Structures are given as C-alpha cells and as structure tokens.
Amino acid sequence: MAKEKKLVEAITPMAEDFARWYTDVCVKAELVSYSNIRGCMIYRPRGYAIWENIQKELDRRFKETGVQNVYLPMLIPESLLQKEKDHVEGFAPEVAWVTVGGQEELDERLCVRPTSETLFCDHVKDIVHSHRDLPVVYNQWCSVLRWEKSTRPFLRTAEFLWQEGHTFHATAEEAEERTIQMLNVYADFVEECLAIPLVKGQKTDKEKFAGAIATYTIEALMHDCKALQSGTSHNFGSGFAEAFGITYANKENKLVPVHETSWGLSTRIIGAIIMVHGDDSGIILPPKIAPVQTTVIPIQQKKEGVLEKANEICARLKKAGFSVQVDDSDKSPGWKFSEQEIQGIPTRIEIGPKDIEKGQAVIVRRDTREKIITPLEELEESLARVHDQMQKDMYDRAKVHLENNTHIAHDWEEFNQILDEKQGFIRAMWCGETECEEAIKEKNGATTRCIPFVQARHADTCVHCGKPAKYEVYFGKAY
C-alpha cells in the first residue's frame, strides 16, 4: 500500500497546480523524457505508440479523400523561404540555420523546415503544366523545427512531429472546398477517436497562418478551461502560386495561377487527450486510440492455474482484435493497478482464484473505476461493450465540460467578470478590427479562438469597442 501511494503521490493534484500535474503525468506515464537538446523532447514508446495510432487512423482517412503521401527535403535555402513575404515574416524569426556542411561554410544558409509550403511550391511548379495535372493533393509525415524557448511536452517544443498537407487546385472554389473538407476530416477524427468535442470556425486575420487568405481551426477546451488549437486548415488562394510562378494551361489554353491549401495536425493533439481526459491518477486514453486497450492482471498469481487463465484470456482477446497485455511481473496487484491507471490503459481485467471458480472476470473501467463482473464465456462481447460505452461517456463528459464552460458575454464588464471568475470560452460580438482584438488581448490576455461556423447574435455592438458588431467570436485564454 505504501508503494502504491508513492506512485500516485508523485503526481501533483490538478487542483493544486494544473501545469505541474500535466508535466508529471507526461513523465510518469512514460510518454516523454526531456532531452539535453534545448526545446526538444524524447517520445518514449508509450507516447510514440499513441502517435502511431493517430497516424494510422488519420492516414487512412486522408487516403480515402485522394491524398498521396510524399517526402520533401528537411532543409530550405534562405532565398526560397523568402519568396512569399508574409510567410517569411511569420517564420524567419523562429527557424534554425544550417551554415556549415561537411567541413565547409555554405554559400547560402539553409533552415531546417519550420513548415514546407515553400518547398512544395518549388516542386509543384515543375510538375504542373496543364489542367490535366490538377489537382495535386499531397501530404507529408515529418518533423519540423521552430526555435521555441520554453518546452512543454507535446504543447510547445522546438521540434515536433506532424503531418502537413499541401494541395493545388484549378479553381478558387475547389481550393476552398478542400480546405473545409480537411478541417472536417480533423474534426471527425478528433471527436470520434479522441472523444474530444470541438468548436469549428475561422481564424481572424490577426491569428491566421502567415501567407493564408483564410485559416480554419478546431478548438478544444482543456480541463483547466484553457483553449487548445488542435488542427488548422489554410486556404492560400493564389498568393504563393504568384510568388513561385505556379501556373497551368487551362481548358482555353491560357496560363493561370493555381490555388493552394495546406493543413496540419501535430503531436500537440496528444496534449489535448491528456488535458481533456486525465485525472489525478494519471492519463486516460480513449479505447479507440489506446495502444494497449486492456491489461489482464492476475490476482494471487502464484496460485495454480491463475497465470495460465490470465494468459488464456489475453490470447482470446488478442484473437478477437483487442490490443491487450498481461502484467505477470512480481509486483503487487495494487501496484499494477496504479501503473495501469497512470498509463491510462482504458480497462483492466482482474482474474483471481475466486473468479476462476465462479467462471467470471472483473473488468474495471479506468475513467469511472466501475467494476463490471462478466461471465468468462462472454468476455469479448462484454469488453467491447464496456469500451464502446467508455468512449461515448468520455466524449459526453468532455462535451458537458465544454458547454458548462462556454459563456456568453453581452458587454465588456460581463466579459471581464467571466474571465476572472469562470474562464473557459467566451462567446461575444466583435467589430472585426485587428486593433480592437489586440487591445482586448493586451487588457486581459484573452485571444480570439475563432469565428464559429454557426453564428449567433448576442448584441449589435462589439463587446469591447462598441462599434457595430460584425461576427460572433469565441474568445479564451489559450495554450
């Protein structure tokens, strides 16, 4: 018992210090380690396996929409990065530069890609000539580097893993359609597999991606009521195409520029899983994304037949398609329970001599700790049912949290009161001016999260400046 307590004690309670709780669970669940390279972290097996499952699921969904994977170089010559002026302004300050190759000083320095729009444009201008060559619908799984000073596992690191989609279209309409289509792919995936409810909308001009004409976003609300931008999709119009000279001969044989999009989702989303679902005992992984879905824990495993039964159950569940393991180490059951809980494995199956006698096993849910006694012969069906219910309940709980912490502010006083007392998302009317948006941020730290696709109208004037209201906006403090 002392040992079990120690394991849990190592995690700072959420209520005491959410930020420390977060880093504690990331480390104690063995998702990551800090490295000796500034701003870079190590994805350990349990953390990387989550990313592998995310990749597998997203990649399948991408390919169903006609996406092709490619791989472009990790280095970008400075002159190439500078071709699109908004883009270089956005990224140049935060890149790392290679200046020496082999033993020689380079004539032109090369940055490690912070994102690859410029490389994709440079390549696509060589392969697109006619309307028959369009659309080009590419994606790349890779790591990128942005010279961040602070490090928070998954949320803010210099190097991170992501996918970046880059597509090129004949018409503006098609580009816009693809931009929205990919946002919806993200949203469906995050809601269905990660059990995270979202707000979908458009970024303001101030918050949009460097070089884009429109950026769309999915925004999630963490347990501490801060927002997390969880995936973005950008429509570039023909700005990059004009800067890079990507034109094609249309059906009338006239050379016109292409229309481009890009969209990305990163390992940051693992931070969202942790901060939406976790509790004081550790992380909680939705069954649909958990690398290990259930652990079989033998009770009194030295008694005859117990370990054999545990292994038999494991083999049966594997055969039925579950990802399952047996913990047959010489630790105490309580210690094993704590480890399963810290690691967020959705369920454990307890099996001891008495259970064997009664022909049953006990399924314990990680989220509610509910114990479900099930006849051994029905174990596969029961476990599938428990996982389905758990996946649904996790989404529903997060949805209630999102709804309970989304407030409407009719005026500036109410806005500040909510921010002081309740946090969460604040829905309010806004004039549409960047200066006003900046003033709000300066006064109380709230940023525009998005202009939601589904618009409501709470007042006729901007919540801050009193000018005529243009949009309803979600405001919040964000990671």
Q: Which residues bind a second copy (CB under 8 A)?
A: 33, 35-38, 40-45, 48-49, 51-52, 68-77, 80, 93-103, 109-110, 112, 119, 122-123, 126-127, 138, 142-143, 145, 147, 159, 161
Task: Write down the least CB distance from residue 3 to a second copy, Å.
Answer: 15
CB closer to a second copy, 123 vs 387: 123
Task: Write down the least CB distance from residue 154 to a second copy, Å.
Answer: 12
Task: Write down the least CB distance from residue 280 to a second copy, Å.
Answer: 25
CB closer to a second copy, 90 vs 353: 90
Cβ atoms of 310 and 336 closer than 8 Å: no
Task: Write down the least CB distance from residue 339 to a second copy, Å.
Answer: 14
CB closer to a second copy, 158 vs 222: 158
Cβ atoms of 237 and 259 closer than 8 Å: yes
CB closer to a second copy, 74 vs 372: 74
CB closer to a second copy, 43 vs 474: 43
What does the block give as tokens for 420?
Answer: 């002081």
Task: Write down the least CB distance from residue 96 to a second copy, Å.
Answer: 5
- Measured in whole angstroms, the distance separating CA 107 from the mean position of its chain's CA atoms is 38
Cβ atoms of 326 and 314 closer than 8 Å: yes
Q: With 0-12 CB in 10 A as exposed, 13-18 as middle and 19+ as buried, what is 465?
A: middle
Helices 379-404, 306-319: axis angle to 10 degrees equals 70
Length of the chain: 479
Question: Which residues lie below 8 Å from residue 194, measured CB to CB, with a gap of 6+?
Answer: 269, 272, 273, 276, 286, 288, 289
CA angle, residues 31, 32, 36, in degrees to nearest 5: 170
Task: Write down the least CB distance from residue 70 to a second copy, Å.
Answer: 5
Give the C-alpha separation, 200 to 198, whole Å: 6
Give the C-alpha separation, 445 to 470, whole Å: 21
CB closer to a second copy, 99 vs 253: 99
CB closer to a second copy, 102 vs 359: 102
Kindly write down the DSSP assignment for every residue of 281-324, as one continuous string: TB----TTT-SS-EEEEESSTTSTTHHHHHHHHHHHHHHTT--E
Task: Write down the least CB distance from residue 169 to a second copy, Å.
Answer: 17
Task: Write down the least CB distance from residue 36 to a second copy, Å.
Answer: 6
Cβ atoms of 387 and 287 closer than 8 Å: yes
Read off φ and ψ for residue 280, nearest 5 degrees: -65, -15
Task: Write down the least CB distance from residue 293 to a second copy, Å.
Answer: 16
Question: Which residues lie below 8 Å from residue 33, measured CB to CB, with a gap of 6+?
Answer: 27, 41, 42, 44
Kindly write down the DSSP assignment for every residue of 207-241, as one continuous string: TS-TT-SEEEEEEEE-TTS-EEEEEEEEEEETHHH
CB closer to a second copy, 73 vs 375: 73
Give the C-alpha separation, 344 to 46, whole Å: 10
Task: Write down the least CB distance from residue 376 to a second copy, Å.
Answer: 28
Task: Write down the least CB distance from residue 402 to a second copy, Å.
Answer: 31
CB closer to a second copy, 158 vs 195: 158
CB closer to a second copy, 18 vs 147: 147
- DSSP-assigned beta bridge partners for residue 448: 475
**Other Cβ atoms within 10 Å of 256 Cβ, number:** 15
CB closer to a second copy, 7 vs 450: 7
